[in-house]
Amino acid sequence: MRAWIGTAVMAVVAACGGDEAAALADVGGTPDAAVADDLYEPFGTDPGGVPDVVATVPKDAESPSAADDSTATEDAELDATPDVVAPCVPPVIPVLAGFPRGLAITLGADAVAVAAGDVAAPDAWTSGGALTLPTGGDQATLFARFDACPEVARAVVTLVEALPGPATAEDTDAIPLDAPRAWATEVVSVVYGGGVDPVWRTPEKAVGPATGDIYDVLVLGNGGSAVLALDPPATDGPGPDLAVFENSFGGANLEVAFVEVSSDGATWARFASLSLTPSPVPTYGGLDPSHLSGLAGKHAAGWGTPFDLATLAGAPEVLDGRVDLGAVRYVRLLDIVGDGTTPDSFGHPIYDPTPAFGSGGFDLEAVGVL
């Protein structure tokens, strides 16, 4: 729900920049820089997600001349420190529930490869992160690596003809109101972004069942975020495991948000996102749900957007055990300022109605556990 509710708020808009910056400083007690990374990191990686793969740099790799006093001193200093260990972090390959065949994507890597089907190793590498998915078949294998790290990231992904359509379409992935077995029980914290009138700052409205009531929402504001608790926790079962409900009136004026999950409320894994909206969207403009995947807010009021925990199986935070897909106790929604400056997980700009004010940003109705 948008700007036509509470439009006499241009003063709020003027104050947004500062409010937003201040607001972003306090997400879950995370340091400012980390929050900024979370919000704008193109590939959704957690800076703390360093796997246990290390490369040991041998001491005395460069053999200095023994006759050179200055070098000898440096050598002595090196000897006084433990073995130097350079972390080797392979790229993260973001995984969607389904990738459209023939789609051009960019991975955060120095070299990539793609093959049809489920294959163990690539035939040939391409420098840079850009690749095009196969135009046929139901599966593809993606590979990515950094030049400085021998570890190769590999992901087998599902190919689909097109992204699922809106709730009214036969091929929709929208979740009905009566599908969730449980609902978020508590709003643990909210960091309001800019452009939120006081009337929309009621966290309790994001707790409990979704009803399709477009006024029963917590408005995050532009760049704002909220953490909700799940009890019972969500677990990775067949198909989608979570459904996020927004209040889009009519199903085209969509506002979108990143979705992250956590087992302990401290370490977060973000769902991969894809935005194929081709151009900027004005305040009262619309976008096509079939251009979106992995972003909350895809579907109209009364319909949930699905998230499958299985797609996070290769996330660093899951691989190292900090996020347990069998015990997801927290969900974080992070509003995206849809002016195109924030990319999805594959290098595409994310657009949604901008600027937004009054009830600016994501309007969270409910989070359901499937």
The footprint of Ca ion (CB under 5 A) covers 205, 216, 236, 241, 255, 308-310, 359, 363, 365-366
Nearest distance from C-beta of residue 21 to Ca ion, angstroms: 19
Which lies closer to Ca ion via its Cβ, residue 144 or residue 331? 331
Token pair for 329: 């106790």
Q: How far apart are CA 311 and CA 95, in angstroms?
A: 5
Nearest distance from C-beta of residue 204 to Ca ion, angstroms: 9
Which lies closer to Ca ion via its Cβ, residue 255 or residue 260? 255
Q: Angle, nearest 10°, between helix axes 10-24 and 32-40?
A: 110
User: Which position's Cβ is nearest Ca ion?
Assistant: 216
Nearest distance from C-beta of residue 217 to Ca ion, angstroms: 6
Q: CA nearest 200: which of 210, 214, 185?
A: 214
Nearest distance from C-beta of residue 195 to Ca ion, angstroms: 8
Which lies closer to Ca ion via its Cβ, residue 58 or residue 250? 250
Which lies closer to Ca ion via its Cβ, residue 159 or residue 228? 228
* Range list of H helices, the chain: 10-24, 32-40, 69-79, 316-319
Q: How far apart are CA 122 and CA 324, in angstroms?
A: 30
Which lies closer to Ca ion via its Cβ, residue 41 or residue 255? 255
Nearest distance from C-beta of residue 244 to Ca ion, angstroms: 11
- Is residue 304 within 8 A of residue 365, CB to CB? The reply is no
Which lies closer to Ca ion via its Cβ, residue 90 or residue 338? 338
- Is residue 325 within 8 A of residue 235, CB to CB? The reply is yes
State the residue for tokens 């009803």. 211
Nearest distance from C-beta of residue 3 to Ca ion, angstroms: 8
Which lies closer to Ca ion via its Cβ, residue 107 or residue 300? 300
State the residue for tokens 């608790």. 229
Question: How many CA atoms, within 13 angstroms, populate the side-chain half-sphere of residue 272?
Answer: 26
What percent helix, strand, coil does the chain show, rounded to 5? 15, 30, 55
Q: How far apart are CA 167 and CA 177, in angstroms?
A: 12
Which lies closer to Ca ion via its Cβ, residue 106 or residue 359? 359
Nearest distance from C-beta of residue 76 to Ca ion, angstroms: 56
Q: How far apart are CA 60 and CA 148, in angstroms?
A: 20
Task: Tell me the β-bridge partners of 296.
Answer: 257
